[in-house]
Amino acid sequence: MSGSAQLTEDQRKHLEFIQSAITRMSGLSSTAKGWGITVSMAAFGISAAGSVPLFSVLGLTSMGFFTYLDCRYLREERLFRCLYEDARRGLLQVYSMDRSAYLERCSWRSVFKSWSIVGFYAPSALVGAGSLVWSAA
């Protein structure tokens, strides 16, 4: 769609729906990060304070769960961004929310290696590993 072409009301509404989904996925990703850091750091703290290595293992396990959840939301957000771009260009049927065409473009590996996943969870995992070593000693 060229820059001078006007969007129809249906196309605008479609873009709003997609943008709403992107916003929701972003918010859920932030919520997963908040809960993940809270639960895992609490477990690491209990483990280090009470010399109970099991709590470090539980903290690392919960961190793994929240990392997966966060990756899932980030991947969905990226898929919706691809969908938005094609909808904006007029390449999609109006009101289509099918993201299957973008699955290869947005791999799990690329999501997991993103700065918002590795940069957030890797330092937390190091804290968990330190807590495990500290509590086991």
- Check if the beta carbon of residue 60 is closer than 8 Å to that of residue 5: no
pLDDT value for 4 = 44
In terms of Cα–Cα distance, which of 106, 101, 104, 97 is closest to 78?
106
Residue 40 CB: number of other CB atoms within 10 A? 28
Domain boundaries defined on the chain: 9-136
Q: Report the C-alpha gap between 109 and 6 in whole angstroms.
A: 38
Residue 136 CB: number of other CB atoms within 10 A? 11
Q: Report the C-alpha gap between 54 and 72 in whole angstroms.
A: 27
- Check if the beta carbon of residue 79 is closer than 8 Å to that of residue 100: no
Residue 48 CB: number of other CB atoms within 10 A? 19
Q: What is the pLDDT of residues 48-100, one digit of tens each?
A: 998 899 999 999 999 999 999 999 999 999 999 999 999 999 999 999 999 99
Single pTM value for the model: 0.87
Burial class (CB in 10 A: 0-12, 13-18, 19+), 77: buried
Q: What is the pLDDT of residues 106-136, one digit of tens each?
A: 999 999 999 999 999 999 999 999 999 998 8
